[in-house]
Amino acid sequence: ALGSKGDRGFIRSGEDFMSVEAVFDISGDNFMQSYFKENGIDGELLIICRTLNKDGKNTINLNGRTLTLSMLREITSRLVDIYSQSEHISLLKPSTHIGLLDGFGLKDCKEKEQLESCYVQYKKIEAELNSSGANDEKQRLAELYAFQIEEIEKTAASEEEEQELIKIKNRLSNIEKISLTAGEASQLFDGEYGLLSIAAKIKSSFAQCSRYDEGILPLTERFESLYLDIDDINNELSDYIFSLEYDGAEAERVDKRLDEIKSLKRKYGGTLEKVQEYLQKIKTEYNEIESSREKADILNKQKTEILRQLYNLSVKVSEIRKRAAKDFEESILSILSDLSMGGCTFKVMFDKLPDFDDTNRHITSGGMDKLEFYISTNKGEPLKPLAKIISGGEMSRFMLAIKSIISDIDDIDTLIFDEIDSGISGFTATAVAKKFAELAKKRQIIAITHLPQIAAMADSSFLIEKREEGGKAFTYINKLDKQGAGKEVSRLIGAADIGEFGKMHAKEMILWSESYKKSLK
């Protein structure tokens, strides 16, 4: 009903669902009434109904309104606090101690609120830094991209240049063959039977014909033009053959340049077109990383500044916490004294606060304090960590002391103690019963117990018992009248079968408890 995890194993065999209901009277709780009015819930009674079906479906209603499990837990955490022996384990963990101390002394601490707010900003900056990509891997990638961009742009290769270089290489590689072939062509122009000599004779023949017939003049003129072209070609061919010379330095330059281009293509795509595509891609990614790094630089400056604020606030909160620890120690010792542990020494031990340079490694929303409860349960014995020396009965009383203090601060109206009487009896049990009575002046106390001293102190007593009916077990909770309560106290004493003296003992215990409760102001 208070929001613990539902388990289908709770459903009775053969049934389809289970249902629990809890009713709270909040007529005298101004805070809760205000809280519920803000959320559109009116009335002085809160009725919580929770149903768990076999198919796992979970329904929660508050005054007819459907709630989620988290909403239920938030509401009931303001109404009820439960203490059971399982909390012993939690209390033995030093990590829980700082929360207990803060619950006692830093409830309305403005510095702690500022610290928590500042810590939220710090975590936000860290998250932005992580998502900005400005990490070591991105840094290495940026350096690689910078190198590749420089290499590609420095090489500055184009397909036109590559084709021109290939032509030059082809010419230089075949210079001898070109010279030989061109020479052979040149020889065909010269000599008695060369092309120029034959062309000269043809030209002369056309000239003679044109003297007798003007109709051949067009052909004569065309051939004269052709003759001039042949003569010009011959001259240029001679110049070309004369210019043919192998240039070793040029051949080396061309080979080197082609190797650079070949290497570039092999590394970045296979073709110069792919190289350019890759260049544009890494330029874009490089610019994004550089932009992230610029953003990261700004964020890192903000992080340093907020770490300084967190450190200063942590120091202030630590000082407040240490002052609160003194009052906390006194309050615990006072209650422990009432619970027959007057010889105890109790101390909140703080570790040395880290230096500023270590803030990022130690900071939490509560600061940088690390503390642990130390106790000595016997005079003359040194203080030692709570977990190492405290017994089960002492732990029960210590937890009762903690709950007594914290419940006043939390302003929770109902406290449930589930068999906290482990390891105690006799006078100590009476001391615990008296503490319950004191708490009950301001709070509703529900205690499940097997101790007659605690049962005798109760304003109302309920007997929980199991019965077998029709082959099935049923649990009954019955409210006891005075006679029934006396009978149960007698049974817990172990005197139920002793006779009148057992009943008298139980009656005396109840009368003494009533007298003690009346004496409380």
Contacts of 360 by beta carbon, 8 Å cutoff, 6+ apart: 303, 307
73-105, pLDDT tens digit by residue?
888 887 887 777 666 566 778 888 898 899 888
Pairwise CA distance, residues 305 & 356, whole Å: 12
Pairwise CA distance, residues 417 & 421, whole Å: 9
The more confidently predicted of residues 89 and 429 is 429
| CB-neighbour burial class of residue 254 (10 A; exposed 0-12, middle 13-18, buried 19+) | buried
The alpha carbon torsion through 223, 228, 229, 232 (nearest 10 deg) reads: 160
Please give the pLDDT value at position 368.
94
445-478, pLDDT tens digit by residue?
999 988 999 999 999 999 999 999 888 888 999 9
Please give the pLDDT value at position 397.
78
pLDDT at 130 over 70: yes
pLDDT at 277 over 60: yes
Please give the pLDDT value at position 135.
65
Pairwise CA distance, residues 84 & 419, whole Å: 7
184-243, pLDDT tens digit by residue?
888 888 877 888 888 888 888 988 898 888 888 889 889 889 989 988 998 988 888 888
State the CB neighbour count (10 A cutoff) for residue 6. Answer: 19
Q: Residues 341-357: what's their mean pLDDT?
A: 91
HSE-up of 2 (CA within 13 Å, CB side)?
Answer: 10
Please give the pLDDT value at position 134.
59
- Token readout for 382 is 């040194």
| CB-neighbour burial class of residue 211 (10 A; exposed 0-12, middle 13-18, buried 19+) | exposed
Q: Residues 123-152: what's their mean pLDDT?
A: 81
The more confidently predicted of residues 265 and 93 is 265
Pairwise CA distance, residues 4 & 146, whole Å: 57
Please give the pLDDT value at position 175.
84
Give the rounded distance of the alpha carbon of 481 from its chain centre.
Answer: 56
| Angle at CA of residue 142, ends 141 and 146, nearest 5° | 120
Kindly state the percentage of the chain with pLDDT values over 90. 27
Kindly state the percentage of the chain with pLDDT values over 70. 94
Query: Sign (positive/negative) of CA torsion 37, 40, 42, 47?
Result: negative
Quick one: pLDDT band at residue 19, thresholds 50, 70, 90? very high
Contacts of 321 by beta carbon, 8 Å cutoff, 6+ apart: 98, 101, 102, 105, 106, 350, 367, 369, 371
Q: Residues 343-349: what's their mean pLDDT?
A: 91
